[in-house]
Amino acid sequence: MMIFRLCLLVFAASFLAPHVISAAVATPRDISMVAAFFQWFETAMEMVFGYFMGSKPNAEKERKKGTTRESRVSYDNYHVLRVIPGSDQAVQELEMLLDEPGLDFWNPPLKNRTTDLLAPPDLADYLKLYLQEREIPFSVLTSNLQADMKNQNPTQINRSTQLKIEQGHPMSWERYHRYKDIEAYLDYLGKTASELVKIIKIGKSTEGRALKVVRVSSSKGKSANPAIWIDGGMHGREWIAPATALFILKQLVENYKTNRAVVDGIDWYIMPVANPDGYEYSHSTDRFWRKNRSKASKDIDDYDDYGDEARFFWDDVKRCEGVDLNRNFDFHWGEVGMSKNPCKSTYGGQHAFSEPESKAISDFIMRQGDQIKSYVTLHAYSQMILLPWGFTKQTPSDHSDLMYVGRKALDALQKVYGTNYEIGTSPTLLYPTSGSSDDWAKGKAGIKYSYTIELRDKGKYGFLLPASQILPTGRETFAAIKTIARHVTLE
């Protein structure tokens, strides 16, 4: 029976090939058709030769053995295209590609705004054809993303040498660090600056990592001070966000004497990495992983019952794992800007607060009552300060107050290096979102001054922002944060 199935596969591949190619060229809207066919054909041949050679495909072998270690995802010859839809029709044409398998929109299409789009090598030419036939302007930012990745992070010096340089911890701000280094730095601060720092474990991640919040306060015991919340790293691939949160933490603690004006009388809650599993996975396996690492639901990745042929349709099943934590908060969850497809990077989960990370953040913030006066979540990239609401173009009744403080923060930021930032709501500057943490912080937690700061840059490097920009990004962002703190704690 198996031989008969294999023969059918070979016959089908040979017969369908010319028809698939001609159909895809005639209707470039189905740009994934050719790539999917040849991926299917390649897997079929692998099965044929594997069967007659007495072995299963390597990926299948590993899956059957239950191996948990994954090979690093390669982005050799992956393209990043920058598209600028100049009309509503062009936006609609791009929106038709949002669910195309293999394509990853790094930001959804908006009229007269740039959209960066990641395409694998077997789709890149068809994507270009699609855009050219519709006269949608685009440029190729890179034709080999893997090569660009090599230039982002310098090699770490000897760990013992680093410990000596930093006098007991491995952190520096000349490179991006793994999560173990970040934890070591937090523990270091907790021990060496115990009069200011308290490490609070608010829960565990999907994979069991401790979710840590650092409380910085010069007040003894329980404090009634107004507080500022900062989190970073809600999306794994946005490395500059945790690095910036850690820089801010360093300024508040290690440079306390310089910055005591914003420490004395104010409590700070800083969560450098809100998504430690996704952050670590972006270092170890897939550099552009966005979501957390919760497992795919059974009806998606359990394909044993369908036989070996089903591998063709689930070859990219790892993409179907994880939830976008910034679509998982319980405020207008699932209404807009969130995918219900678990294989997409903006999948918001099966229900609000389905994920331990978002639930832990929510529970902790709610326990603080009305102490927290400002919620700031750090993301990348775009160079924007975003205000609620994200789920609608309507603005809250105190929008003018948020804009006033936001503009003061923007001015302070731009004075440091002249970096150009924009300010506004997500639907007007980026895209509509629902289930986001900043909307939840204002709408459910009652935190008046809620902001998302999209850090450097505007897309030249994107998620691959060089480590040489950590310090300037940190300095200008800290200037903005101090301004927010001064204004909101006066009310």
Name the region of 413 (left: φ>0; alpha: ψ -120 to 50; beta: rest).
alpha
Rounded CA separation 446/465 (Å): 34
Distance in angstroms (rounded) separating the CA atoms of residues 209 and 467? 25
**Looking at the DSSP assignment, which residues form a beta bridge with residue 118?**
80, 104
Tokens 């007040």 map to which residue? Answer: 219
Q: Supply the residues annotated as catalytic.
A: 454
Contacts of residue 243, Cβ cutoff 8 Å, sequence gap at least 6: 173, 176, 177, 232, 470, 473, 474
Residue 368 is which amino acid?
A: Q
Q: What residues have CB less than 8 Å from 101, skipping those under 6 apart?
A: 32, 36, 316, 343
CA nearest to 176, candidates 142, 197, 151: 151
Give Cα separations from 177 to 157, 240, 310, 471 (angstroms): 12, 10, 39, 14
**Quick one: tokens of 424?**
């506004």
Q: DSSP readout, 280-294?
A: HHHHHT-TT--S--P
Dihedral (CA of 114, 454, 233, 349) sign: negative
